[in-house]
Amino acid sequence: MKKLIISTVIILICFSITGCKGSPNNVNNDAFKNDLEKISVPDMSASILDASETDQLKWLADLYEFELSTLRTKTSGLIENELQLVETHLSRIFSAQESQLLIEGFYQYNEEDKIYYVPDGEWFTYNERWPSSHLAIIELSDETVVLELTGVDDYGGDNRVIHYFLEIEKGQMILEKRITNQ
């Protein structure tokens, strides 16, 4: 009995000295969540629709930077709850469907290790490096807007067209989907 009491006291002393900080996964999730929160979220105010084309193109580049920075915060060894944090962060500017498409297109699952990772590959969307581009609002209502971006990409010099479908609610927009044509 005496040994049990002494063992219990020693264990309690060890806990009080080292502290109890939860499981390593929770600590890692908190660090990962903090990394995601450091990524600047673009302004999704519908007022950008009244801005100059130059400002709108800069805004699209900001959307692209947010997307890539979020997806690349951690490129290997993601577990399911970290992937959920990525999806939640993406949902700040993308619809649930678009967020899911981005994740499915970016990450692959390794059955053996039970983790997600980013394979090597080429990713395409708009960025400010297109040598020439034009942005037009081709459809506008109180609830939706469709933007059409045309230009020549900086990778292969191909002509590209991207349609952005955005939903507007209370002056804020959410990117519902993108359709890319060559």
Q: What is the CATH number of the domain that holds 111?
A: 3.10.450.420
CA 37 to chain centre: 11
* 174 confidence band (pLDDT: 50, 70, 90): very high
Give the domain extent around 93: 35-181
Please answer whether residues 143 and 169 qualify as being in contact, where contact means their C-beta atoms are separated by less than 8 angstroms: yes
Is 30 inside a domain boundary? Answer: no
Q: Does 2 reside within a domain? A: no
Is 164 part of any domain?
Answer: yes
Q: Which two tokens stand for residue 160?
A: 């590209």
pLDDT above 70 coverage of the chain, percent: 76
Specify the higher pLDDT residue, 130 or 175. Answer: 175
How much is the mean pLDDT over the chain? 83
Find the radius of gyration of the CA atoms of the chain. 23
Structurally, how many domains does the chain consist of?
A: 1
Which pTM does this prediction carry?
0.78
Q: Which residues, at least 6 apart from 61, have a Cβ–Cβ distance to it below 8 Å?
A: 126, 127, 128
Does residue 1 fall inside a structural domain? no
Average pLDDT value for residue range 25-50: 88
In single-letter form, the type of residue at position 142 comes to D
Per-residue pLDDT, 132: 73
Query: Is residue 86 a part of any domain in this protein?
Result: yes
State the pLDDT confidence band at 4, using cuts at 50, 70 and 90. very low
Q: What is the pLDDT of residues 8-27, one digit of tens each?
A: 445 545 444 444 444 445 55
Which band of pLDDT confidence, cut at 50, 70 and 90, is reported for residue 171? very high
Asked if the structure places residue 41 within a domain, the reply is: yes
Asked whether residue 96 is assigned to any structural domain, the reply reads: yes
Asked if residue 147 is part of any domain, the answer here is yes
Task: Give the C-alpha separation, 1 to 8, whole Å.
Answer: 11
Average pLDDT of the residues in 25-39 = 82
